[in-house]
């Protein structure tokens, strides 16, 4: 019987080992799993890399690591984590230089300023000044930001490492500034009802927060030297499009679950700093696996290879409750289809004698159980991968519990997060 609590991170951000990213792994959990289940691998893939825990832990052990995430802001956060501790002494002087440059150089205005939804003019200007200064001092390209938000697979994957570090400090500053707009759902950011409800933090307070965030991140770096930091390759790309064949000894990862967590809205502060327009955010939500967006009714009928996934999709589609036929049914089919395609790509990318570790959580739609553990196991079996170990953990703070409408179903239910190991 499972007894240990879920390994996924929760609780205060002071306890986090890197950027406060929703549902990130703790490093210790990844380190322990790599030691026990991946004793002799040289290279590790994480195609849903998020804040980059797998790639950072692998890099700290001198392993080759490749991480993908579809979200360009998240790629920057994961790359920043690879900044070597050995240059820690230069973080404060560089922050000084950036803030000096921020005083001089006026920012270029966006046609539609995404941050203006929450912040008044002088606050937005200060954030943009710091951003332009990072671009000037560390990238030699003051007008970089439009490129970053628009272009998956582009500049977010190739920014200089130090620039990703200061961008991440600016993202964290942005999260601090927008914290009053966070809802109880940790991935939701409210909009103020009118312009008059926007906040106007003073420029001086923003620079103080930026410095604090540089320090916060510096204290959490784990890669000792540059040698370790060079090897990981982190790309903004979709797991669905992974085309590597027999390239890795192992994969350690965790996909989005069937809980409609909106990772894109959850990173709206960061994407807005990158200048992402409403259209770019909407496009990213459509392409991101598991967000509440449905890609169109034509995918309602797409075939699924897992028989359990197919049965669940039919049960949800046929459920009597409002929205099941037109929204939740197509949504779950989209989700399963993305998941199966990605799992098949992962199975091909890892060498036949390699190890694949996948962390998943079960959930429910109304009273219909969504046993993601079995679905993933069936999909992997279809690719010739055998489940050799399963470790279960109890989920004490399920995302669904945040939804008052779902709470009545939850009184008698325990969800499980499981590490599934395939060889």
Residues that bind ligand SAM in the complex, under the rule CB under 6 A: 21, 23-25, 47-48, 50-51, 53, 68-71, 74, 238-240, 254, 256, 263, 288-289
Nearest distance from C-beta of residue 338 to ligand SAM, angstroms:
6
Largest CA distance in the chain: 62
- Give Cα 209 distance to the centre of its chain: 23
- Using CB atoms, what's the residue nearest to ligand SAM? 50
Question: Between residues 130 and 304, which has the closer beta carbon with respect to ligand SAM?
Answer: 304
Question: Between residues 49 and 306, which has the closer beta carbon with respect to ligand SAM?
Answer: 49
Question: Between residues 24 and 275, which has the closer beta carbon with respect to ligand SAM?
Answer: 24
Do 256 and 48 touch, CB atoms closer than 8 A? yes
Do 379 and 370 touch, CB atoms closer than 8 A? no
Do 233 and 117 touch, CB atoms closer than 8 A? no
Nearest distance from C-beta of residue 77 to ligand SAM, angstroms:
9
Name the one residue in this structure whose structure tokens are 């609590």: 5
* Helix segments in 277-423, DSSP class H: 278-287, 307-318, 329-349, 372-382, 404-410
Nearest distance from C-beta of residue 235 to ligand SAM, angstroms:
10
Nearest distance from C-beta of residue 30 to ligand SAM, angstroms:
8
Question: Between residues 79 and 129, which has the closer beta carbon with respect to ligand SAM?
Answer: 79
Nearest distance from C-beta of residue 391 to ligand SAM, angstroms:
16
- Give Cα 80 distance to the centre of its chain: 14
Nearest distance from C-beta of residue 390 to ligand SAM, angstroms:
18
Question: Between residues 7 and 107, which has the closer beta carbon with respect to ligand SAM?
Answer: 7
Q: What is the DSSP string of 374-406?
A: HHHHHHHHHTT--EEEEEEEEESS-GGGG-HHH
Question: Between residues 126 and 339, which has the closer beta carbon with respect to ligand SAM?
Answer: 339
Do 73 and 255 touch, CB atoms closer than 8 A? no
**H/E element, 419:** strand 415-422
Characterize 270-299 residue by residue with b for buried, 16 or more Cβ atoms within 10 angstroms of its Cβ, and e for exposed: bbbbbbbbeebbebbbebbbbbebbbeeee
Question: Between residues 114 and 256, which has the closer beta carbon with respect to ligand SAM?
Answer: 256
Nearest distance from C-beta of residue 20 to ligand SAM, angstroms:
10
């Amino acid at each position: 019987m499972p007894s240990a609590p879920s390994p996924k991170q929760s609780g205060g951000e002071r306890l986090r080992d890197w950027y406060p990213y929703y549902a990130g792994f703790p490093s210790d959990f990844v380190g322990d799993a790599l030691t026990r289940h991946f004793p002799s691998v040289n290279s590790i893939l994480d195609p849903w890399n998020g804040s980059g825990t797998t790639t950072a832990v692998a890099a700290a052990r001198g392993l080759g690591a490749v991480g993908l995430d579809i979200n360009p802001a998240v790629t920057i956060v994961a790359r920043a984590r690879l900044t070597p501790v050995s240059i820690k002494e230069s973080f404060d002087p560089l922050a000084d230089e950036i803030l000096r440059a921020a005083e001089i150089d006026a920012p270029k205005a966006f046609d539609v300023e995404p941050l203006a939804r929450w912040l008044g003019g002088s606050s937005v200007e200060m954030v943009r000044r710091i951003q332009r200064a990072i671009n000037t001092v560390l990238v030699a390209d003051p007008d970089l930001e439009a490129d970053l938000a628009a272009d998956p697979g582009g500049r977010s994957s190739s920014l200089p490492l130090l620039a990703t570090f200061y961008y991440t400090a600016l993202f964290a500053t942005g999260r601090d500034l927008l914290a009053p707009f966070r809802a109880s759902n940790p991935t939701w950011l409210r909009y103020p009802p009118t312009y008059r409800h926007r906040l106007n933090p003073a420029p001086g307070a923003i620079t103080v927060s930026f410095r604090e965030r540089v320090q916060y991140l510096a204290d959490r770096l784990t890669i000792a030297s540059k040698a370790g930091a060079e090897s990981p390759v982190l790309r903004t790309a979709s797991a669905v499009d992974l085309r590597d064949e027999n390239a890795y000894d192992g994969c350690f990862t965790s996909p989005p679950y069937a809980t409609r967590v909106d990772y894109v809205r959850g990173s709206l502060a960061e994407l807005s700093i990158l200048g992402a327009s409403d259209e770019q955010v909407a496009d990213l939500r459509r392409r991101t696996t598991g967000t509440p967006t449905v890609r169109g009714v034509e995918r309602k009928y797409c075939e699924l290879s897992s028989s359990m996934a197919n049965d669940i999709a039919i049960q949800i589609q046929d459920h009597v409750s409002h929205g099941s036929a037109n929204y939740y049914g197509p949504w779950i089919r989209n989700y399963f289809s993305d998941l199966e395609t990605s799992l098949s790509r992962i199975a091909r990318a890892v060498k036949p004698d390699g190890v694949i570790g996948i962390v998943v959580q079960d959930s429910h739609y109304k009273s219909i159980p969504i046993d993601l553990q079995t679905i993933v196991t069936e999909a992997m079996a279809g690719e010739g991968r055998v489940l050799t170990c399963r470790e279960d953990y109890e989920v004490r703070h399920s995302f669904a519990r945040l939804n008052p409408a779902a709470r009545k179903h939850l009184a008698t239910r325990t969800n499980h997060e499981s590490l599934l190991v395939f060889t």
